[in-house]
Amino acid sequence: MKKNTISFQKKNKPRQISIKWKIFLFLLGFCGVLLILLWFFQVIFLNSFYKGIKINEIKATANTIEKSINDENIATIISTVSENNDICIKVLSSSGDTIYSSHVVKGCIIHSKPDFDEKTLPSEVTNNDGELFQYYNHDGYSRETEPEPAPDSDATQTDNTQTQDKPPSEEKEKEKDTLIYAKTIIDANDEELTLVLNSIISPVNATVNTLRVQLYYITAFMILFSVILALIIAKWISRPIEAINNSTKMLATGDYSTRFKGTGYKEIAELSDTLNYTAKELSKVELLRQELIANISHDLRTPLTLISGYAEAMRDLPDENNSENAQIIVDETKRLTTLVNDVMDISKLQTGNISIHRQPYNLTASLSDSINRMNKLMEMDGYQIDFVSNREVTLAADETRISQAFYNLLTNAINYTGEDKKIIVTQTIFPNPADDLADWIKIEVTDSGEGIAAEDLPYIWDRYYKVDKTHKRAVTGTGLGLSIVKSILDMHHGDYGVTSKLNKGSVFWFTLKI
């Protein structure tokens, strides 16, 4: 047991970090990704997002007006879209005279600043392929042209827009607060008009700073929150696992009364149910093992006592030195041999260390031989074994093993049969419904003994299981016989079973494919 504990500890060592830290790291990673996204979108890209939105807005407004330029209510339309979007609008003739005007934003450049040159603007726009963007500084209102940030621009370069290829430096861009968009449109009379829209871009620096400070707090809070959450979740998950681990260590030291109490969530409840079942089964095996040792010791001691007793008597007392006593020694030695063989067989069979050698042989003749031999051995004690068969059957199987299985059933029948000391062995052939191609053979061993109680029936095939635990009869075996039968038939893909009635007798049977 000590060995087990040591090996557990050794295996534990290379394990990586505990579940507590794993959950913490996962949560931290998750929060990290969220925060990085927030930082990128709220702080780093806010300015460009905002500008992009403004540009799209101003272009959409220009398109709306362009579509309605021939409408008779164009003046109303212009003032409505102007108010709705907070954009000042002017429509200029080709000579630069104002045709329509909507002034909704106080201090807009196109309405209130003297350095805004309306007269030259239409030709400037036409030269710039009918479209022009201009940014104006908040202080001083100096005019600068900028590249169009909207992706659908196909504006070509003019003298006036020579700086368009180079993106504006960030410093410069931050200073600007007014965006002017001018576009050449054609009205129903084929006259060229220039649409001028003026939108105010509020500086986002202050907002970005506010967001940055907020994000510092959010980051700190998120880290703290993930630590606390990780600790709570980890405790909730790992506590039952630790409890189960402790119980399993106790189980490993041989304490089969250990009970697993895993509660909290479904998986752990299922695990503890499985482990409780395992502990129960292990304790059963342990009990059977202890019983077997007790039985084997008992079964070994009886013949050994007899052998040494009779041998000493034959040595010391000349009268006792006769063949009857010698026979007793021989019989007891045989019993010892059977016992030892049984124990060896079952361990070999159940660890899979035995292979079967199938060869065609006459099963009927082989069974008949075994019965004859047994009849000869037992007829002095009044036992009689009858064999009923209608034809000889040859099949491919391991003769030694099948004979061993049959012999075990036969000796059980002899051991447990009733006062009439009669046993009947029947051989029948039947077509197996599950197997169209081959017939099957069924061997039944019927006795008239006390039978087996229904509650014991499912267990008699288990190793070391014995219904009669009190050793009423000297013939009682080791509890291994039927387990050997089961293993042999399993290896032959045969079937086996028993029907039994208390005080009437039992019919043990097995089937094999012919």
Residues of this chain that bind ligand ADP (CB under 6 A): 408, 412-413, 416, 447, 449, 452, 460, 465-468, 476-483, 506
The minimum distance between CB 230 and ligand ADP, in angstroms, equals 56
How far apart are the C-alpha atoms of 289 and 349, rounded to whole Å? 17
CB nearer to ligand ADP: pick between 65 and 410: 410
Burial (CB < 10 A; 0-12, 13-18, 19+), residue 208, is middle
CB nearer to ligand ADP: pick between 187 and 456: 456
Q: Which residue is nearest to ligand ADP (CB)?
A: 477
The minimum distance between CB 13 and ligand ADP, in angstroms, equals 45
CB nearer to ligand ADP: pick between 158 and 338: 338
Torsion sign across C-alpha atoms 328, 331, 337, 343: negative
C-alpha neighbours within 13 Å on the C-beta side of residue 41: 6
- Judge contact between 186 and 94, C-beta under 8 A: no
Distance, C-alpha 330 to centroid of its chain:
61
CB nearer to ligand ADP: pick between 197 and 485: 485
Q: How many of the other CB atoms lie within 10 Å of CB of 226?
A: 21
User: Hunting for tokens 């909290």 — which residue is that?
Assistant: 264
Q: Buried (b) or exposed (e) across 312-347, using 16+ Cβ within 10 A?
A: eebeeeeeeeeeebeebbeebeebbebbeebeebbe
CB nearer to ligand ADP: pick between 198 and 403: 403
CB nearer to ligand ADP: pick between 126 and 426: 426
Measured torsion, CA atoms of residues 234, 240, 244, 250, in degrees rounded to the nearest 10? 100
**Distant-in-sequence contacts of 206-211, Cβ < 8 A, 24+ apart:** 207/46, 208/42, 208/43, 208/46, 208/47, 211/42, 211/43, 211/46
SS3 assignment, position 143:
strand
CB nearer to ligand ADP: pick between 176 and 466: 466
The minimum distance between CB 301 and ligand ADP, in angstroms, equals 17
481-491 vs 399-416: helix axis angle to the nearest 10?
A: 150
CB nearer to ligand ADP: pick between 481 and 494: 481
- Judge contact between 117 and 143, C-beta under 8 A: no
CB nearer to ligand ADP: pick between 91 and 413: 413
How far apart are the C-alpha atoms of 14 and 266, rounded to whole Å? 28
What is the DSSP secondary structure assignment for residue 162, as one 8-state letter?
Answer: G
The per-residue DSSP string of 124-137 comes to HHHHTTTEEEEEEE
Q: How many of the other CB atoms lie within 10 Å of CB of 303?
A: 21
- Judge contact between 312 and 286, C-beta under 8 A: no
- Judge contact between 148 and 133, C-beta under 8 A: yes
The minimum distance between CB 504 and ligand ADP, in angstroms, equals 11
CB nearer to ligand ADP: pick between 303 and 477: 477
CB nearer to ligand ADP: pick between 173 and 495: 495
CB nearer to ligand ADP: pick between 111 and 335: 335
The minimum distance between CB 344 and ligand ADP, in angstroms, equals 15
Phi, psi of 338 (to 5 degrees): -55, -45
Structure tokens belonging to residue 323: 């063949």
How far apart are the C-alpha atoms of 158 and 214, rounded to whole Å? 44
In this structure, which amino acid lies at residue 3? K
CB nearer to ligand ADP: pick between 146 and 444: 444
In the sheet that holds 505-513, the strands lie side by side as 384-389, 422-431, 439-447, 505-513, 495-501
Contacts of 332 (CB under 8 A, 6+ apart): 303, 304, 306, 307, 310
Structure tokens belonging to residue 217: 């707090």
User: Hunting for tokens 């200029």 — which residue is that?
Assistant: 92
The minimum distance between CB 425 and ligand ADP, in angstroms, equals 12
Structure tokens belonging to residue 427: 């051989």
The minimum distance between CB 408 and ligand ADP, in angstroms, equals 6
